[in-house]
Amino acid sequence: MNEKKLTGKGLPKEVSIILILLGICLLFEILGWIVKGDTFLFNFGRIKLMILQMSVIGIIAIGVTQIIITGGIDLSSGSVVAFVAVVAASFAQSANATRPYFANLEGTFPVFVPVIIGIGLGGLCGFINGFLIAKTHIPPFIATLGMMVSARGFAQLYTEGKPVSMLNDSYLMLGSGIMPVLIYLLMALIAHILLTQTKYGKYVYAIGGNQHAAVVSGINVTKYKIMIYTYAGLLSGLAGVVLCARVNSGQASMGVMFELDAIASAVIGGTSLDIGGIGTIGGTIIGSLVLGVVKSGFIFLGVNAYIQEIIKGAIIIGAVVLDVMRNKGKSK
């Protein structure tokens, strides 16, 4: 018998997405010189702002990617961000806040209190999503749609529609400078390792690849689905914590459409909405970058904000069309 070496891996799919990203950068650079007579890429301030802005959605997208890999969807992340932001902000107000939530409190809570409460609240929302999906077998679309509406409602109820402002300095540290970017990259690294180097990751791909086969292979699909949605909820919670620290305020109107940007990041980055079991964290980071560059580029060129939205919609559709075409003929 001839012993074969079977380790050739071939080029990863991310390469093609990186090429698309570079193409878009180049396009804006050229347009920049034509329209504005200025550089797009070689402006440190702009790039820094762009990466800062994508961090919050990037953190959400890490969880959403895993959910989409299992064949699910999470529409609730934007609302969960808002809910967490207002609650965390209320625990992080400075001692001299004009409208304090905890008026009887001497001084402020230590910084870990709002952080733990915020992340925990996000995790609770995710757990409820996962529990409903895994135990009652309602479609993820419906379960998370319900959470999307309810979490936003909770946020409004909690704040009575008013912003929760004047946060204390130690909490604001979480959102200052490149802190959000560092948190984002750390979360991405952890998720990447979980997905590629642990049993958890293997099970995520297996559940997405064929749920029925996953059951027969001994995977406790119910348990893992709850875990996956809870994990995504924890990440949405963290995103809410970082967001209110970054803007020094928690508002019930925050995070609107964040879920769609997160889903779009995953899909542009090669996570398949069409068939489960396909997607990587690396791809999603690049997907987030694509969205960030497009947004930043349009602002740079002075494109009307409404037109920006229209084009963003077209990009998302384009990414899904590419995905469906890639999977054509497979797994019928």
Q: How many CB atoms lie within 10 A of CB 77?
A: 37
137 binds other proteins (CB under 8 A): no
Give the C-alpha separation, 256 to 88, whole Å. Answer: 18
Specify the stretch interacting with other proteins by CB under 8 A; choose among 33-41, 73-81, 166-174, 271-279: 271-279
184 binds other proteins (CB under 8 A): no
Q: Judged by CB under 8 A, which of 205, 229, 298, 300 binds other proteins?
A: 205
199 binds other proteins (CB under 8 A): yes
135 binds other proteins (CB under 8 A): no
H/E/C letters for each residue in the chain?
Answer: CCCCCCCCCCCCCHHHHHHHHHHHHHHHHHHHHHHHCCCCCCCHHHHHHHHHHHHHHHHHHHHHHHHHHCCCCCCCHHHHHHHHHHHHHHHCECCCCCCCCCCCCCCCCCCHHHHHHHHHHHHHHHHHHHHHHHHHCCCHHHHHHHHHHHHHHHHHHHHCCCCEECECHHHHHHHCCCHHHHHHHHHHHHHHHHHHHCHHHHHHHHHHHCHHHHHHCCCCHHHHHHHHHHHHHHHHHHHHHHHHHHHCEECCCCCCCHHHHHHHHHHHCCCCCCCCCCCCHHHHHHHHHHHHHHHHHHHHHCCCHHHHHHHHHHHHHHHHHHHHHHHCCCCC
Q: To 5 degrees, how large is the angle CA 109–CA 114–CA 118?
A: 165
89 binds other proteins (CB under 8 A): no
Q: Judged by CB under 8 A, which of 59, 61, 214, 245 binds other proteins?
A: 214
Q: How far is the CB of 185 from other proteins (least distance, A)?
A: 20
Q: Which is nearer to other proteins, 4 or 96 (CB)?
A: 4
Tokens found for residue 39: 């550089």
269 binds other proteins (CB under 8 A): no
Q: How far is the CB of 135 from other proteins (least distance, A)?
A: 14
Q: How far is the CB of 275 from other proteins (least distance, A)?
A: 6
277 binds other proteins (CB under 8 A): yes
99 binds other proteins (CB under 8 A): no
Q: How far is the CB of 136 from other proteins (least distance, A)?
A: 18
Q: How far is the CB of 10 from other proteins (least distance, A)?
A: 7
Q: Judged by CB under 8 A, which of 37, 45, 212, 328 binds other proteins?
A: 212
Q: Which is nearer to other proteins, 70 or 93 (CB)?
A: 70
Q: Judged by CB under 8 A, which of 37, 45, 107, 218 binds other proteins?
A: 218
Amino acid at position 68, single letter: I
Q: How far is the CB of 12 from other proteins (least distance, A)?
A: 11
9 binds other proteins (CB under 8 A): yes
1 binds other proteins (CB under 8 A): yes
Q: Compute CA distances 192 → 186, 198, 229, 279, whole Å.
A: 10, 10, 16, 11
Specify the stretch interacting with other proteins by CB under 8 A; choose among 19-27, 164-172, 218-226, 232-240: 218-226
Give the C-alpha separation, 260 to 312, whole Å. Answer: 11
Q: Which is nearer to other proteins, 210 or 253 (CB)?
A: 210
Q: Which is nearer to other proteins, 103 or 332 (CB)?
A: 332
Specify the stretch interacting with other proteins by CB under 8 A; choose among 17-25, 34-42, 210-218, 288-296: 210-218
Residues that bind other proteins (CB under 8 A): 1, 3-10, 193, 197-199, 202-203, 205-206, 208-210, 212-220, 272, 275-278, 330-331
